[in-house]
Every structure is written in C-alpha cells, then in structure tokens.
Amino acid sequence: MNQRTAPDLFEPGLFQGTTFYEVFAWYRANDPVSWQHPAGEPEGFWSVTKYHDVVSVHRDTTRMSSVKGMRLGSADSAVDAVANKMLIVSDPPDHTRMKRVLIQPFSHEILGRAEAYVEKVVADVVATALQYPEPDLIKHLERIPTDVICAIMGLPRSDWEWIGKQTTEAFESPSEVRRIAANGEIFKYFTDMVKENRRTATNDFISGITARTHSSPQLTDEELVFNFSGILAGGNETTRYTLAALTHQLAEHPDQWRRIARGDVDPAIATEEGLRWSVPGMHVLRTATEAVRIGAVEIAPGQRVVTWIGSANRDEEIFDNPDTFDVGRTGNRHLSFGAGRHICLGSRLARLEIAAYLRTLRSMVRSLTLEGAPRYNGSNFTWGLNELPVVLHK
C-alpha cells in the first residue's frame, strides 16, 4: 500500500473477505489512532488499532463510556432505550450491579455441571454432519451454540430454531429496520417469559436470577429482559463464528489438523488460537467523558472512540507471526472477549463449547476437506463466515 495515502477502512465490501487485515496493518504502522468519518455516519470518531491502546480504552471505564452505544451504526433511540439497563451499554455503578447478578449462571461450578450436556450436543452435531453432509457446514455448526445457550436458559425446545434466526437478524441484518424489529421480537419474547415466570416459577434459569435479585442488587423486569437478550446473543453468534473459522483453518491447513488429530496439541490451547483468529466481535465503540490521551493523540470530551479487536489480535508487537494460524500458540493474549469490566460474560461457556468441539473432531473425524470458497458476512461488527463448504470425513 502507498505509505503516504491512508487506505479506506470503510471501503464497501472490505469485510466480505480478509483484506481488511492489510488495512489494519497499515494503520498500526502509520496512524494507530486515526480520525475517521465514513459516509453514513453522523459524526466522526477516533479509530484505535494497536493492542495496548485498545486495552487502555477497554479498561478505562471512568473516561470511556459505553452508555452512548457500543457499535457503529446503532440508532440513538435504540441505544437510549437500553442505556444503563443492559450490561453492554452501561457504566459503573449500574454495570457492576447488573454483572454481579448476571455472572452467577456462568460460574465454574455451574458450567462444570453443564459440561456433559455440551459434549452430548457437540457429538450429536458432528455425527449428523458426518452422516448427512451439507454444502454449508455452518447449517450443522450453528446448532451447537444455539442448543447450548437455549438449554442453559431453559427455553422451550420448540423455540430454538426461531430464536437462532432472530438473534442472527438482530445482529447481522444489513437493514437497520430489520435489526430493530428482530431485537424487538426477542425483547417481547423475554418480556412474556419473565412475566409468566413471576407467576409460575417454572424456568429455573430465570428463577435463579430473580431469586438472587430479591436482595441487593436488584434487577427490574426490564433489565432482566434486556440482559437475557444480550446473554442469548453473546452465547449464540460469536461462538458460531469461532467454530466456523476454526473448522475452515483446519481444513485449509492439514498440518494444523494433524496436530489436533494426533493429540499433539491440547484442545484448550487450540481454542485460544481459534478465538484470536476468528474475532467474532470486530469493533467496540466508546465515548470519551473527559479529555484523555490515547497513544500520541488527545481525545476531546464527547468524541467517540472505536477499538478494532481484529487489529489488536494481529499486532506484531504482541504476537509472533500474527498472520499465521498456529493451533499450538502459547501465551495467547487475544482480546476476542474484550478486556476490563466489559469482558464477555459467556467467555467460559464459549471456551467449553469450542474445546469440546475439537475433542469431538479428534475422536470422530478422520479428515476435513474444503469443497469451495467460504463466504463472509461483510459486517465490521459481528464479523465471520456465514457459508462454509467444508465436509467432515469418518
């Protein structure tokens, strides 16, 4: 790239492939905290691409606020409706209060009891994929996070397919109208469920959460609804993208697959490389509440700051050979779950599912073949594969 001309980070179609990594590399080397004002955005923002700068933004909950939204392209009215009522768009003390309650179902103890179910779901999905190959393996893989999070939340089995589709629409639809509508459908679903459970107490997940809120801290029904939606999305979309990216890389790099198949690499280690590589949450938005310096740049109060996780995960100062997929990579300090107070609530569950998937592949699958070109969704927010022509072989 021309070192004197900044590449366009918002070129149409850039995220429909992987060439944006070259753009990130340019910014890391030449303009790590750059001013951007893409078409369609009402105002500009600072774009942060280096690892340590990204971490500093995420950890600074005093001067970097989430209340004004956490992604580009969000409607102000939608953000205002959930501000300080939904974990991902809240600041302390509201964030602390809500997280203290909501993190309980994702403790090591509770997830330890769910491990056998996760293994069963993964084994069933892989067995089905072996017996009934699809042109798009994602049609099988998407069942893993959907079935697991829906089961943990105690949602009716008959609703799982609908829930998966609505969650995808809420985050991935190119239409803002459709995203808002899908989120509205999910909010209504949980509103009805919380109301019904107040009367019948038949959902153990909701009852467990609401039981804890009878003493301080207490969540309102509205906060429960918004955060159940967030838990559903966090447990569904991002894990699916990591499973797809990991499978793609194993099929494309047989040497890495052989390391898994032979048992040379611990699945827990390979899981971290899958997370670093897949970057299901590509960017995070914050708003400065007071003047703050990031790198060599002074950020003014009220200005927006966007951190690019995809760039941080390829920072040459942190990762050796960052553009190489290495299932045995150790000391893998990726930021795919974020950093600081807003680190992903479901990170333990995601790791559990991905590691179970790798163990199952090792025990049930002989080889993986890539049968065509994979297709990316083109999003600069929840980025990943939405079509993966990989076939698993016994």
* Cα–Cα dist 132/122, whole Å: 15
Instruction: Please give the average per-residue pLDDT across 308-330, as a whole number.
Output: 97
3-state secondary structure of 77: helix
- Residues forming a β-bridge with 116: none
* Cα–Cα dist 198/239, whole Å: 31
Surface-to-core class of residue 63, CB atoms within 10 Å of its CB (0-12 exposed, 13-18 middle, 19+ buried): middle
DSSP structural state of residue 387? E
Percent of the chain with pLDDT over 70: 97
Do 235 and 127 contact (CB within 8 A), yes or no? Answer: no
Q: 10 vs 6, 72, 337, CA distance in Å?
A: 11, 12, 24
Q: In terms of Cα–Cα distance, which of 66, 34, 40 is closest to 286?
A: 66
pLDDT grade for 57, boundaries at 50, 70 and 90: very high
Do 345 and 209 contact (CB within 8 A), yes or no? Answer: no
One-letter amino acid of 71: R
- What pLDDT score was predicted for residue 157? 93
192-211 pLDDT per residue, tens:
999 998 888 888 888 888 77
**Is the backbone peptide bond immediately before 374 cis, with ω within 30 degrees of 0?**
no
Do 26 and 49 contact (CB within 8 A), yes or no? Answer: no
pLDDT grade for 212, boundaries at 50, 70 and 90: low
One-letter amino acid of 59: R
pLDDT grade for 112, boundaries at 50, 70 and 90: confident
- What pLDDT score was predicted for residue 1? 45
Please state the pTM of the whole predicted model: 0.92
126-183 pLDDT per residue, tens:
999 999 998 999 999 999 999 999 999 999 999 999 998 888 888 777 787 888 888 8
Identify the structural domains of the chain with CATH numbers, from first to last. Answer: 14-393 (1.10.630.10)
Give CA 231 to chain center in angstroms.
11
Task: Extract the tokens encoding 223.
Answer: 């906060």
Question: b/e string for 130-143 if b means 16 or more Cβ within 10 A?
Answer: beeeeebbbebbbb
3-state secondary structure of 238: helix
Residues 133, 134, 137, 142: is their CA dihedral positive or negative? negative
Alpha helices in the chain (DSSP H): 20-30, 51-59, 76-82, 94-102, 108-131, 138-141, 143-152, 160-172, 176-200, 204-212, 221-252, 254-261, 267-278, 309-312, 347-364
* Cα–Cα dist 228/305, whole Å: 27
Q: In terms of Cα–Cα distance, which of 173, 121, 185 is closest to 149?
A: 121
